[in-house]
Amino acid sequence: MPLYDRELRAIMDEIAGPTAAPGAGAVSGVVIAMAAGLIASAARRSLDWPEAKGVSAQAQALRSRVERLAEANEQAYLEARALIEGAQEDGGRDAAIGKALDTAAELPLAIAECAYDVALLGAEAAQHALPGGAEDAAAAAVLAEAAARAAAGLVAANLVSLPGDDRVLQAQRLADAATDAARRAVAASAAR
């Protein structure tokens, strides 16, 4: 059953269960989607903020995108595990592992990009949303930052056999930028 068609309690039980999926990539995506939802809500409650509707729409678009990425990540992860486990012990195994790990790096990188975008949007909302909404937006930015760090770690782990791969550096830059945005969000929220 697709990730977002499951009940929250079932997803939580699956995460804590003995299976490998949903793993860190899918969970990061879920966290980012929830953070984007917090930002959309904060913006919708801030009726005097002229950009609130646009921010809410952006947050909803990011939420939709990261939901699709989390679904795809979970599926790709399961397929990569099956490919690696089913590969023969000859040269085909190395090629299969390389292909699986390359694919497994692309989706967490896209998830990290969404996390950065959500953290930025959270910083903006924390600065302009009404009290209550500003704190939600700051919390959303911090959640997105954590998800960006997790996704960057997955990119690095999946590409450990390819030293110097630009995707590892890009994911780290996104995580660092998400940290900056989260700090601004928390400061803006505290100042309101």
- With tokens 């913006």, the residue in question is 43
- What's the pLDDT score for residue 85? 74
Query: pLDDT tens-digit profile of 91-123?
Result: 666 777 777 777 778 999 999 999 999 999 999
- What's the pLDDT score for residue 74? 87
Q: Exposed, middle or buried: residue 144 (CB in 10 Å: 0-12, 13-18, 19+)?
A: buried
- What's the pLDDT score for residue 91? 60
Please state the rounded mean pLDDT for residues 140-158. 95
pLDDT band at 144 (very low <50, low <70, confident <90, very high): very high
Integer Cα distance of 188 and 23 in angstroms: 33
Please state the rounded mean pLDDT for residues 63-74. 94
Integer Cα distance of 174 and 164 in angstroms: 16
Integer Cα distance of 59 and 19 in angstroms: 31
Side-chain half-sphere CA neighbours of 185 within 13 A: 34
Q: Report, at the CATH architecture level, how domain 7-191 is classified.
A: Up-down Bundle (1.20)
- What's the pLDDT score for residue 150? 97
Domain boundaries, the chain: 7-191
pLDDT band at 89 (very low <50, low <70, confident <90, very high): low
pLDDT surpasses 80 at 3: no
pLDDT band at 166 (very low <50, low <70, confident <90, very high): very high
